[in-house]
Amino acid sequence: MLTGQTVKKVWSEADINYLVKNYRFWKKEINRLERVLYVGSSSMGSWGVAQYGIDAAMPKGSSIRSAEELKRMDVRERGQLARLEKLRTYVYALEVAYNLIDDEQLITIYDCLLDGMTYRQIAEHLSTTKDYVRLKKQIIFSQNSQISTILTTKNLQCKWRGGRTGKCFFPWYLSKPNEITWYSLL
């Protein structure tokens, strides 16, 4: 379905359907990767004990891991970080698209799809048929070109109070999100 690239020219309904089906998994995976990359003790900067004087200046070999293992770990961490960014892009696009739907029934169907409910469960929840839910889902995906726009845009432009502007990829990167006045796609 997806080719592993965040930036594509056109996102089809099948691609968006793939994103919706994997939304819950990706939310969990984002939390796991954030724990590994930002909170976990596997960071190379936290290894070892601080030394002082001439001992601190001398190069040391690692008794635990070889230099090649350390190099591979850096590559792995870079790969995890790139994967985290890609998954955040997908999740962000799906969450922004949720706010762009006007009809309450379509919002409910989209929300249920993101929660992982089946057509049968959604139809029972709305007291309709599975075919009706399937039709409305197709309407949501065909009308929602905004998901494709977000996924094909590399950066968002943020305008802060006081007129300062700068690039930000996601609102949760910001230390003070309440200072943002608007977002626009570049």
* Dist CA 183 CA 157 (whole Å): 6
The larger pLDDT score, comparing residue 108 to residue 175, is at 108
pTM over 0.95: no
pLDDT value at residue 46: 43
pLDDT tens readout for residues 41-89: 443 444 455 666 776 677 665 444 456 654 666 777 878 888 988 999 8
pLDDT of residue 128 exceeding 90: yes
Mean of all residue pLDDT scores within the chain: 71
pLDDT of residue 93: 84
pLDDT digits (tens, 9 = 90+) for 95-108: 888 777 888 999 99
Q: How far is CA 69 from CA 40, 63, 77, 82, in A?
A: 18, 12, 12, 20
Query: Of the ranges 25-39, 54-68, 172-186, which one carries the lowest mean pLDDT score?
Result: 172-186
User: Which letter, b or e, does each residue of 160-180 get, where b requires 16 or more Cβ atoms within 10 Å of its Cβ?
Assistant: eeeeeeeebeeeeeeeeeeee
